A and B are shown apart, each in its own frame.
Chain A
Amino acid sequence: MAFAKTEIYEIDRRKLLRMTGTMGVGAMFVNPAELFAAGMCEKVTIDNGSIEADQAGATLQFWIDGLHMGARSNIKSRANITLFMDLNQSAVSYVESVVIMDENKHTMGARYFDASMKMRDGHVPYVRFENIELDATKTYYCVYAVRSGSTLKLFTSKIDKPEISRLNTTFLPQKMRDDFKTFLYGNTANPTPGLITTQFEFYTANGLALHCARGRVHDMASDGSSFTVNIDFMHGDVAADHYMRYFIVMDPVGRLLGYHKRTFGDGMSGSVNVTAVTAQQKADDNLPDLQVANIADCPYIQFYTEDSYDAIARNMIRLR
């Protein structure tokens, strides 16, 4: 999962209306930074003692996948990007729009909501932009517009030099991080850069068909309170330092839905059933609520399997 810190601006909606009256054909997005510089809105300062950087909306979580290989491929970027912001929808305050634009402020995609459009826990739904061309050398901006009465708060995040998202350690439970520190890949600065096998890119010469994540949904409650995702072993256990260890199910931006860690020689083979994160797991692994998602809110899930030696493989299952 990738994070981007947000900057927050506040503006009177009516003021914005007047400005938009001058927009014309070929006009571009009004960057909140521009509004601020012009004195037309105010900026909400984060970390000034009254608003904490980790409060709702302080960070945008996003995941980029698809055909987006940068200089490593001659295939033009066809990326997908999914966004999640810790903002809640209510009758008095709700995200009414999300826009992604390039550095020239051309709109690449937008989504619009009303207060009734929300996840089960009240969060604004995942925003997914499919099949967009991103330049791995450039900068993109996301703006969440939160309406509260006559006021708009604009949560602005910058995605700089977008690349395929990876399973890195920064958002994983500490116990998982510790395990991955000894994983074959990695270095001191970034113990697990998250080298992921997909059909488009893989880190093994041992055969893609035997090093890809293969899973299927067995059952799922309509409210997401329970589910079972059956994930195959990529291959049989080889040795104590090369066996199928982790089986992980995540939401579209890398929040945990469920995971199972095996121990070598536990007698299991073939596949593992991964179920929803339990209260015990949350307590044992010190998982904050915000990092545990509900599968019923997910238009698709991503799942991983890892062999503790030379492969972490990822795949997706669409739920819609």
Chain B
Amino acid sequence: MKHSDQGPTRPVEEKPSPQAVAAPPGKSSEQDEQDVVARRALLGLGLVGLASLVASACGGTAFNSSSSNMRKKGDKAQSGGSTPGGVDDPWTDAANQCKLAAADPTNKAAVDACNAAKQKAIDVCNAAAADPSNQDAAASCDAAKKAGLIGDKTDASGPSLGNGSDQDSCFANTVTAVDVDQTPKADGDLIPKVKFYGRTDSALIAIKFDSAQPIEQVLLATPSGKLLGLHGITGADKSADGKFRPIVFDNIWLKDGGKDITEVRILVQMGKAVKVHAEPLAFFTTYNSKPVIDLSNRSDMTAMYANQSVTRFSENGGSFAVDRTVVYPYNAAYGGRDVSAAAGDDHRYLHTIQSSSTLTPQLGADAIKGTITDIMGDPIDLTGGGIIEHQLFCTYVDAGASVVRTVLHIG
């Protein structure tokens, strides 16, 4: 990112042509379409998510593989035919790496090479933009653009929507096909367990898959297809036994156009395949057949306060890593105390949790009360290393006619 020295704002040099922004055939609401498309695109979706949805909806038709190409499949720049320097041109080589990376995102060497080349292209073009007299940079930038490493403003017409090509018609279909109803339904172990907490203007949704399938992204959408959230699967999503941990979407507005929705669509993306699950919106408001009091509904704060759990653990000595080297800085400049003089020991003894660390939950008053469950409502054991796995958990205390729930979060 080297744009901070670019100086005053640059004017927009080119406006999109009417043709370029024309609505696809048969579409009566360009704006709606754009909403959906832009939303899915810009937002990260555009990325793997949108592409996958598109591919799925179009029977596997794939778009160009690199976002940076910003050209239609078949453009001569991508074919290499117009690239100066032929295959020996470094930009062309880099573009080929990008194609390899797009074809196989697990090809780390290609991905790294592609990203490095793109960044280099950005730097070169920035240099050219910053110094119009730098002809070398300009030429290199131009070559990078022609190789498809970076967008070319001279090619700003780009692919238009609905111009009749297979790709564009597919894309146009996608705009409506993002309609979740046209996505294959989830089945088998791709049907998640779902819990809703909170309220429609700030909900926590916990989703658990009992699946070993290679899920890459999980998307949350309204029944009309408007996206609410996306969770990209990372190494944090699986426990040591290879099972998926609960996926948590926090502070989500379960609304569409300001109105409460009655169900959510959960899209599960695996490679080019996307499956959708429809889950009725039902807040987790009963436990053991009794109504739940919690801090979201605050229906009985007297009972809530009396039965609220407090996170409190004791460490089991020797199971934590202890930093015995770092010492307290003596902040004499601010009148601080000299610990080494006062206590004869100025070491911090910073304790940090390890996979083998164990703690003991403190139970009862001013501590943890009642039945302890994970965020999916299943009882768990927090002794030993339990809290390492369950950073987010709940307690339920029977309060007679109701049950008090405290949602606890460690970290």
Contacts and interface: CB of A to CB of B under 8 A. Distances in A.
Interface string A148-177: 000010101010000000000000000000
Contacts of A35: 151
B3 A36 contact: yes
Given A38-B125, A97-B44, A111-B228, A185 B3 contact: no
Contact of B321 (A48, A72, A143, A152): A72
Interface string A300-320: 100000000000000111111
Contacts of A292: none
Contacts of B44: 29, 97, 99-101, 107, 109-110
B232 A107 contact: yes
B11 A199 contact: no
Given A107-B48, A200-B410, A25 B43 contact: no
Interface residues of B, number: 153
A300 B310 CA distance: 14
A141 B236 CA distance: 18
B41 interface: yes
A117 interface: yes
Given A48-B9, A67-B353, A299-B251, A26 B411 contact: no
Contacts of B4: 7
A108 B151 CA distance: 24
A320 B310 contact: no
A74 B255 CA distance: 41
Interface in B388-411: 388, 391-392, 406-411
B9 A27 contact: no
A98 B229 CA distance: 9
Contacts of A133: 234-236
B171 A96 contact: no
Contact of A34 (B12, B72, B122): B122
B331 A191 contact: yes
Contacts of B135: none
A78 B152 contact: no
A33 B115 CA distance: 13
A248 to B, nearest CB: 17
A117 B112 CA distance: 38
Contact of A45 (B8, B47, B112, B359): B8
B183 interface: no
Interface in B1-35: 1, 3-4, 6-16, 20-21, 34
The DSSP consensus for interface residues of chain A is: mixed
Contacts of A114: 226, 255, 257-258
A220 B296 CA distance: 10
A36 B60 CA distance: 32
Given A15-B16, A112-B39, A130 B353 contact: no
Contacts of B48: 25-28, 106-107
Interface in B152-182: 152-153, 156-161, 167-168, 171
B251 A107 contact: no
A171 B12 CA distance: 37
A40 interface: yes
Contacts of A98: 43
A74 to B, nearest CB: 5
B150 interface: yes
Contacts of B47: 23, 27-29, 105-107
Interface stretch (B85-93, B185-193, B242-250): B242-250
A77 interface: yes
Given A34-B118, A96-B39, A220-B298, A208 B313 contact: yes
B312 A38 contact: no
A262 interface: no
Interface residues of A, number: 125
A1 interface: no
B336 A183 contact: yes
Contacts of A132: 232, 234, 236
B227 A131 contact: no
B388 A75 contact: yes
A183 B339 CA distance: 11
B62 A208 contact: no
Contacts of A101: 44
A286 interface: no
Nearest to A231: B310
B120 to A, nearest CB: 11
A181 B335 contact: yes
Given A75-B388, A106-B232, A217-B305, A320 B198 contact: yes
A209 interface: yes
A20 B50 contact: yes
A297 B226 CA distance: 23
Given A16-B38, A16-B42, A217-B295, A25 B65 contact: yes
A33 B331 contact: no
Contact of A42 (B10, B245, B247): B10
A182 B331 contact: yes
B352 A201 contact: yes
A28 B153 CA distance: 20
17 contacts: A7-B1, A7-B3, A13-B38, A21-B159, A37-B121, A38-B153, A99-B230, A107-B45, A109-B232, A131-B247, A182-B337, A183-B331, A201-B353, A205-B351, A209-B362, A316-B408, A317-B409
Given A7-B1, A154-B42, A183-B331, 19 more contacts: A12-B12, A12-B15, A12-B16, A13-B38, A15-B156, A26-B103, A33-B3, A34-B150, A38-B70, A77-B235, A80-B391, A98-B43, A106-B47, A152-B42, A187-B331, A216-B305, A318-B392, A318-B406, A320-B198
Interface of A: 7, 12-30, 33-45, 48, 65-67, 69, 72-80, 96-101, 103-114, 116-117, 125-133, 143, 145, 147, 152, 154, 156, 158, 181-188, 191, 195, 198-205, 207-209, 212, 214-220, 222, 230, 232, 241, 297, 299-300, 315-320
**3 closest cross-chain pairs (CB), A and B:** A320-B198, A38-B151, A20-B41
